[in-house]
Amino acid sequence: MATSVTDDPNRFARGLFARLPNRYDSLAELLSMGQNGRWRRAMVDRIVAGLPRDAPAAAGATGRPATSRPPRILDVASGTAGVALQLADRVGADVVGVDLSMDMLRQGSSNVADADPGGARVGLVAGRAEQLPFADGTFDGLTFTYLLRYVADVDATMAELARVLRPGAPVASLDFMLPPTRFWRAWWWGYTRLVLPVAGWATGGRPWFRVGRFLGPNISGHYRRHPVDAIVTAWRSAGLQDVGVWTMSLGGGLVMWGHRSGG
């Protein structure tokens, strides 16, 4: 019997993305009608705006920072490292990308090598958002992309993401969204249920047909269980403040941002 996203979200996500990495970026742009890149930039903009260029290193005897260093940013659900590379380029940060899928990470490693042969500013590791392999307060900023639809417990996942952040660190995320108006939602329903599976098959074969057929019902189901107000509450309960929400592209994309309390 096939595993469903509700049975075991981590296992389902690994299986869904196993055969997609080598064409993931180009097909993601095509199937999002060219909006994925725009949404990513909007998310990264929030980190750029909230992150100092030089983050403090360990405090000296006076309690003041002894030196400064490039900021450290964690990119969760990093996939093929597109967001991680953008962060490294725009912020001058040392970025760690985390993803469940070894297939995605292999493609991400190739993309990092192509973009920066030294590979010094972006490192990729396997891991789960629900159990990150980092100490408390390790990072100066965090992004996550298309993540919460693939976890079993949104509140616990948000708490774990917040745990690894320094006080005051900015957080930003991106996911698909349901258009808020009835008119555009009807068009969205037709696109996700009819056009997307066919376009996936035509451009990427059976693996992308499977993704195209899955996405619409998955997005709808996610927001039935977790309306945006409930997701905002999960962010705040995790210790994130000044949570903002921006619905983009007639409501097809959702960018959220905030910062870790205590800064």
Per residue in 80-102, pLDDT tens? 999 999 999 998 899 999 999 88
pTM of the model: 0.84
Q: Which helix (H) or strand (E) element contains residue 122? A: strand 122-126
Secondary structure (3-state) at 165: strand
How is residue 2 written in tokens? 């096939």
Q: How many CB atoms lie within 10 A of CB 4?
A: 10
Q: Which helix (H) or strand (E) element contains residue 55? A: strand 55-56
Residue with tokens 């909006």: 35
Strand partners, 111: none
The residue among 23, 175, 10 whose CA lies nearest residue 101 is 10
Alpha-carbon torsion 214, 215, 217, 223, what sign?
A: positive
* Local confidence band at 232 (pLDDT 50, 70, 90 cut-offs): very high
Alpha-carbon torsion 211, 213, 216, 218, what sign?
A: negative
Residue 103 and residue 123: Cα distance in Å, rounded?
15
Q: Which residues contact 120 (CB under 8 A, 6 or more apart)?
A: none
Q: Is the pLDDT higher at 61 or at 130?
A: 130
Q: Is the pLDDT higher at 30 or at 179?
A: 179
Q: Answer whether 260's CB lies under 8 Å from 169's CB.
A: yes
Residue 51 and residue 72: Cα distance in Å, rounded?
10
Residue 148 DSSP label:
G
Residue 170 and residue 240: Cα distance in Å, rounded?
9
Does residue 162 carry a pLDDT above 50?
yes
Report angle CA 26, 31, 37 to the nearest 5 degrees.
55
The residue among 260, 259, 256 whose CA lies nearest residue 232 is 256
pLDDT score recorded for residue 31:
63
Q: Answer whether 159's CB lies under 8 Å from 132's CB.
A: no
Alpha-carbon torsion 146, 151, 154, 160, what sign?
A: negative
Q: Is the pLDDT higher at 42 or at 20?
A: 42
Residue 136 and residue 89: Cα distance in Å, rounded?
26
Q: Answer whether 189's CB lies under 8 Å from 216's CB.
A: yes
| Domains by residue range for the chain, with CATH | 9-260 (3.40.50.150)
Average pLDDT, the chain: 84
Q: How far is CA 39 from CA 4, 35, 239, in A?
A: 27, 6, 25
11-20, 124-133, 139-148: which has the minimum mean pLDDT? 11-20
Amino acid at 26: S
